[in-house]
Amino acid sequence: MSETPRSEGTADAAVPTEQKDAAAAAKVGGGVVGTPAADTPQTATEAALEAGSQNIPANAQQRTRLEVIDVRTGMFGATQGGDTSGYGGLVRTIAMPGPSERPYGGYFDEVVDLLAEVLGEGGTAFDAAVEKVVVDREELTLFVRREHLVAVCRALRDDPDLRFELGLGVSGVHYPHDEGRELHAVYHLYSVTHSRRVRLEVAVGEADPHVPTTVDVYPGHDWHERETWDFFGIVFDGHPGLARIQMPDDWPGHPQRKDYPLGGIPVEYKGAHIPPPDTRRSYS
Amino acid sequence: MSATTHGASAGAPGAGFRAAGSIVGEDDGVPTFEAGGGDWSQIAEEAARLGEERIVVNMGPQHPSTHGVLRLMLEIDGETVTEARCGIGYLHTGIEKNMEYRTWSQGPTFCTRMDYLAPFFQEVAYCLGVEKLLGITDDVPERATVIRVLMMELNRISSHLVALATGGNELGATTIMTQGFTAREEILKIFELVTGLRMNHAYVRPGGVVQDIPPGALDTIRESLGVMRGYMRQLEDLMLGNPIYKGRTVGVGHLSLSGCMALGITGPVLRSAGLPYDLRKADPYCGYETYDFDIPTSTDADSFSRTVLRIEESYQSMRIVEQCLERLQAMAPGPVMVADKKIAWPAQLAIGSDGMGNSLDHIKTIMGTSMEALIHHFKLVTEGFRVPAGQVFQAVEHPRGILGVHLVSDGGTRPYRAHFRDPSFNNLQGVSLMCEGGQVADVVVAVAALDPVLGGVDR
């Protein structure tokens, strides 16, 4: 189930020719990119954001832009001292798997066709509702625009040939480098009737983190959306009671965001001091 | 147990709690609250003074019959529950966040601690997810997969035994509790024999399992199965024929099939409503399609039928365990980890002074004879392996329902995001539906039949 990522009309984008190993496109042009002085490379830094933005097309409305999630420099996670490894100039752009082309394989084509048909009957164009279809590792992901999310969920649940009647919840992911689309809400839907599964993904920006609630369609998403609000700060508009669920009510911040520190204290073990996990070297 | 009069109209969860508190000050614009309880006589006087019939009772978070640190906010009218809400988060430890700061191989050490009564399910689900991300699902040795199934099914029995035991204990049936926990001890002994630990095993690793089952373990498990069967029969007699137990559970905690589907409730609760939905049959993983077992169902949709189903499922799990034992017996000894040395740790474990660790012989070999092996070992353990960027969702049938793992990789050596869709977390949403309109005493029965484990709920 491999696919070749496309980038339609994104001439200035570094196009990964192989999705393998995530490293994909090593962007070498443009001279030296600033070295991120990051304590933890998983955290967004100014320099990394700047480097990442160079790979994003100027047109923010571009339909099939790359989902750049990180830009890494060097190797071995060494940020202090001189460039002893000789890899200091290495710059790697990490992008998530891009949109797939037909045939998607398995039942995926049928699901997409049926969804397009049902949405069309309701007066919504498939292309307007779904940004892109990604088939990766034998799993189908539909990137849905937030204004059509509820319509898509309703179509997936109610149509007898689709019948994704079991909503398995919502989980958030924070991609600080995916500019303007930093926060992703990911919905996992199962069809008990047809023994199928589909994943919906909605991307919104940190500046406007609003997604319509799916609780009306899948009442079981109530707590999952509260958890995603709690951990990521995605506001689910229309949710019956969007209160924090895991953290205390007066907790500041959203702990699962990448710029939220993990915290921790050094631990002594047999005379040696082990630093807290978020200050240890990261090799990513 | 603390109780407060219900001043404000019912709003968001915690409204009653807040209404009882008083704003004691403002710090940086954030109001701080002080909540207080009191003696029953004072509360009754206060209720009489306000002419307020409704009383909000906080059951938990420290209460013996809430299965852990579950807080139930009950609005009661006499003995009748008019509104039931759950408060969770008291055991939130940020396991998902922590996993983002460890290597992929260290993941099982964290996720095994989520639902501590069913640790193997988190481990297996996580590892299946990592293997799918790596694209090595088909390379996992058959022996490792059979061991995984064996451990999961034993774990299912032990988890169900705790559900039955604590459920009985909460009704005052201490014998059910002692028998259930004694039977569980048999399984914990097997776990200790195979993994070295009674819980928090971290035995299943991406690519296989950490080590093969020890010699003689198959016979031990076979003997234990007989003992377990005996205990299970006793439990069956104690529970299913017991008029008091039946009186407390039959027709209590009803949740219809449509209610279950709407709320995404799975596991024994869904099957007690009549739908034989079990991922081991519906979407097999770990080769479950090759095992011979049945999915028991009921249409009563009450707490008693869930007890019956848990006992039935335990017998079915014993059937699968027997098939695993046969397969392992027939199988020639072989690897229990993928052959790819870039993923499989080069560890040779042995018991050391501070628990289980690398054997001294192995360390002597790599330190003394092979520089490359030492470098490789060091790199793999400290740095870990890289996983290609992408995301997967892997679901397994947990004793409490569908456990889903959503893993996102950014191509690095650590999970970019690991989210666990814990069945208890989801199923607790059914408490309102199951308890409202019933008696306060039935809340305990309904929650026991849901069998939430708060370690998994809060993660």
Q: What's the CATH superfamily of B95-343+385-456?
A: Cytochrome-c3 Hydrogenase, chain B (1.10.645.10)
Residues B139-187: pLDDT tens digits?
999 999 999 999 999 999 999 999 999 988 888 888 999 999 999 999 9
Indicate the CATH number of A107-237 among 3.30.360.10, 3.30.460.80, 3.30.479.30, 3.30.1600.10: 3.30.460.80
pLDDT at B47: 66
Structure tokens at A15: 């196009």
Picking from B343, B281, B325, the residue whose alpha carbon sits closest to that of residue B146 is B325
Which residue of A246, A260, A269 to mutate against B (max B Cβ within 10 Å)? A246
d(CA A70, CA A51): 9
Q: Between residues B217 and B373, which one has the greater pLDDT?
A: B217
A234 near A214, Cβ under 8 Å? no
Say which of B88, B265, B282 has its CB closest to residue A195.
B282
Domain-by-domain residue ranges, chain A? 107-237
Distance from CA of B288 to the nearest CA of A (A): 16
Decide if A69 and B386 are in contact by the 8 Å CB cutoff.
no
pLDDT tops 60 at residue B357:
yes
d(CA B337, CA B340): 8
The pTM of this model reads: 0.82
Q: Where are the alpha helices (DSSP H) in B241-351?
A: 243-249, 257-263, 268-272, 279-282, 303-330
Residues B88-100: pLDDT tens digits?
999 999 999 999 9
Residues B221-263: pLDDT tens digits?
999 999 999 999 999 998 898 899 999 999 898 999 999 999 9
Mention every residue, 6+ apart, whose C-beta is less than 8 A from residue A113: none
Q: Between residues A54 and A83, which one has the greater pLDDT?
A: A83
Decide if A262 and B97 are in contact by the 8 Å CB cutoff.
yes
Tokens 């960027």 -> residue: B389
pLDDT at A218: 92
d(CA B268, CA B273): 9
d(CA B4, CA B1): 10
Q: Which one-letter DSSP state was computed for residue A41?
A: T
d(CA B392, CA B211): 26
pLDDT at B68: 78
A162 near A191, Cβ under 8 Å? yes
What pairing do the DSSP bridges indicate for beta strands A267-269 and A272-274? antiparallel
pLDDT tops 60 at residue A56:
no
Average pLDDT, chain B: 85
Dihedral in degrees, nearest 10, Cα atoms B72, B76, B78, B81: -70
Picking from B123, B124, B129, the residue whose alpha carbon sits closest to that of residue B109 is B123
pLDDT tops 60 at residue A23:
no
pLDDT band at B39 (very low <50, low <70, confident <90, very high): low
B251: alpha, beta or left? (left if phi > 0; alpha if psi -120 to 50): left
Q: Is B175 helix (H, G, I), strand (E, B) or coil?
A: helix
Residue in chain B lying closest to A240 (CA)? B12
pLDDT band at B60 (very low <50, low <70, confident <90, very high): confident
Dihedral in degrees, nearest 10, Cα atoms B281, B285, B288, B294: -20
Give the angle A267-A271-A276 at the CA atoms, nearest 5°. 20
pLDDT band at A203 (very low <50, low <70, confident <90, very high): very high
For B48, list phi and psi in degrees, rounded to 5: -65, -40
H/E run at residue B100? none
Structure tokens at A61: 């409305």
pLDDT at B123: 94
Please give the average per-residue pLDDT across B44-59, as a whole number: 72
Say which of A97, A195, A245 has its CB closest to residue B88.
A245
Q: Give the ipTM of the model, two decimals please.
A: 0.83
Q: Between residues A44 and A154, which one has the greater pLDDT?
A: A154
pLDDT band at A48 (very low <50, low <70, confident <90, very high): very low
Picking from B250, B192, B240, the residue whose alpha carbon sits closest to that of residue B449 is B250
Residue in chain A lying closest to B278 (CA)? A192
Which residue of B426, B428, B458, B459 to mutate against A (max A Cβ within 10 Å)? B426
d(CA A232, CA A256): 6
pLDDT at B362: 79
